[in-house]
Chain A
Amino acid sequence: MPWRLLRFALSKKHPEPRMFTRHDRLKPAYDVVIIGGGGHGLAAAYYLAREHGITNVCVLEKGYIGGGNTGRNTTIIRSNYLTPEGVQFYDESVRLWQDLAQDFDLNLFYSNRGHYTLAHTDAALRTSRWRAEVNKHFGIDSEVVGPEVVKKAAPMIDLSCGGHAPILGALYHAPGAVARHDAVAWGYGRGADMRGVEIHQRTEVLGIGVVGGKVAGVRTNRGNIATNKVLCAVAGATPRILDMVGIRSPIYIHPLQAMVSEPVKPWLDPILVSGSLHVYISQSARGELVMGASLDPYEVQSTRSTFDFPESLSAHMLDMFPFLSNVKVMRQWAGMADMTPDFAPIMGRTPVEGFYLDGGWGTWGFKATPVCGKTMAYTVANDREHTLITGFGLDRFRNFALTGEKGAASVGH
């Protein structure tokens, strides 16, 4: 036991500063109000303060920080997407992840594992080749490998998948990683807090005042705030906030579920995804198998989970790893995924002046937390989109100019 812990036992008062400052009341006005204390909102607050010197900022969170999709996700980080816009954007995020733990002085358990997207059909193999070529063009480590490479990386795998979905190859992405989700929210939150940003938990936004097409203020369960800039980073609650400012969007909400097994000895190093079997799996530092699938098939606006989920996910998991049949499922949960028709996010300015949107993050937005924070902070500070997000504007739908990422984001989040 480190000796410094003794201080906590001996001292009557908490001997170190708390992780976050507590603010008893809201100020009457802020330069920027950020709705949503998930990773995205907190990261935007952090970069606003650190890179743009804007610190008269509050983050309003209706529950507790990181309690939304940030704390529910399966933490896969990668950049092997399909569109040039996506690939460059996620690549910058992977770069930002590298020194984040240093920056925060907090262990994010960032663990570089390598990521395999398994192909069981010719069509899947073709998409893999396509992705590999786009990726390589932008200098990203991404290549198509044969089944023997998969077997070497995960020796316990049944390459025939029970005989009915033989693995023909895989898209291998060496930078693929996992990280500790809570710590990401805390690190960004603490970094913002230290620089003067106020974080208000249990503070729900109930309305947004718009006067003459411009944001004028925000109504919360703890009082009203005047502000000219609002950043909306609420993932599964995005349509509700957009209703407050009268903006229509293509975002629809379906639950995404996940589960973990009891902890077992380390046996799986890489992250594996199978689009055909609708499963993905990695092993956490604690030994739990972290497993997920694709979206629930219909709209639900709550975080309920269902029994058919572990049932069908386990059946497919056993196709890949028959030896897991005696391993127990320990927990399951769900998050509300804010989906878009092209599986790309919606970011940037909106028709309401001073209302900035960072949403449509669906099932794939954890990996983008750093780059979203950085580019949205830039966009809010300058009232102009950062060049990395110009492909993600809300007006792309009106212009029938989608950014099609479905081939790279539907199961492998």
Chain B
Amino acid sequence: MKIMTCPVNGPRAISEFAYGGEIRSMPDPATCSDDEWADYVFNRNGSPGVKREWWCHLPSNTWFVAERDTARDVVLRTYLYEGEG
């Protein structure tokens, strides 16, 4: 992967982007247990696969979602975040 397509600015060199990690939902810190919170803070899905990730186009500060196959390093789709589900 050398080119990433920003949903607003189109295809750009990968060096213009920052990776923000896999999209995960945060448990409610007021009600979840310490174990759930520690799991959220530290644990990751480290195995290869197609993942939904946060990426940011730095010059325009556009955060968006990329679906990427982390085994092949191929981006399948990029789009602006529209909430969960």
Minimum CB–CB distance for A255 against chain B, Å: 9
Could you say which of A250, A304, A400 contacts B73, with CB atoms under 8 Å apart?
A304
Cβ–Cβ contact A400 & B19, under 8 A: no
**Which of A239, A250, A297, A298 has most chain B Cβ within 10 Å?**
A298
- Against A, the Cβ 8 Å flags (1 = close, 0 = not) of B43-57 are 111111001000000
Cβ–Cβ contact B46 & A238, under 8 A: yes
Cβ–Cβ contact A240 & B47, under 8 A: yes
Interface of A (DSSP majority class): loop
Any B CB within 8 A of the CB of A207: no
Contacts A297-B18, A302-B72, A397-B38 known; A239 to B43 CB distance under 8 Å?
no
A304 to B, closest residue via Cβ:
B73
Number of interface residues of A (CB under 8 A): 27
Cβ–Cβ contact A250 & B42, under 8 A: yes
Cβ–Cβ contact A248 & B38, under 8 A: no
Cβ–Cβ contact A398 & B38, under 8 A: yes
Any A CB within 8 A of the CB of B70: yes
For chain B residues 1-30, which have a beta carbon within 8 Å of chain A? 2, 14-15, 18-19
Any B CB within 8 A of the CB of A300: yes
Minimum CB–CB distance for A315 against chain B, Å: 13
Cβ–Cβ contact A240 & B48, under 8 A: yes
Contacts A239-B47, A243-B47, A252-B46 known; A299 to B38 CB distance under 8 Å?
no
Cβ–Cβ contact A300 & B73, under 8 A: yes
Which residues of A sit under 8 angstroms from B51, Cβ to Cβ? 299
- Against A, the Cβ 8 Å flags (1 = close, 0 = not) of B61-85 are 0000000001111000000000000
A338 to B, closest residue via Cβ:
B46
**What separation, in Å, do the CA atoms of A297 and B20 have in the docked complex?**
10
Any B CB within 8 A of the CB of A350: no
Cβ–Cβ contact A299 & B70, under 8 A: yes
**What separation, in Å, do the CA atoms of A399 and B19 have in the docked complex?**
28
B residues engaging A (CB < 8 A)? 2, 14-15, 18-19, 34-35, 38-39, 41-48, 51, 70-73
In the assembled complex, 5 residue pairs joining A and B whose CB atoms fall closer than 8 Å, in A order, are A250-B42, A250-B43, A397-B38, A397-B43, A400-B38
A residues engaging B (CB < 8 A)? 238-240, 242-243, 248-253, 297-302, 304, 306-308, 338, 341, 397-400
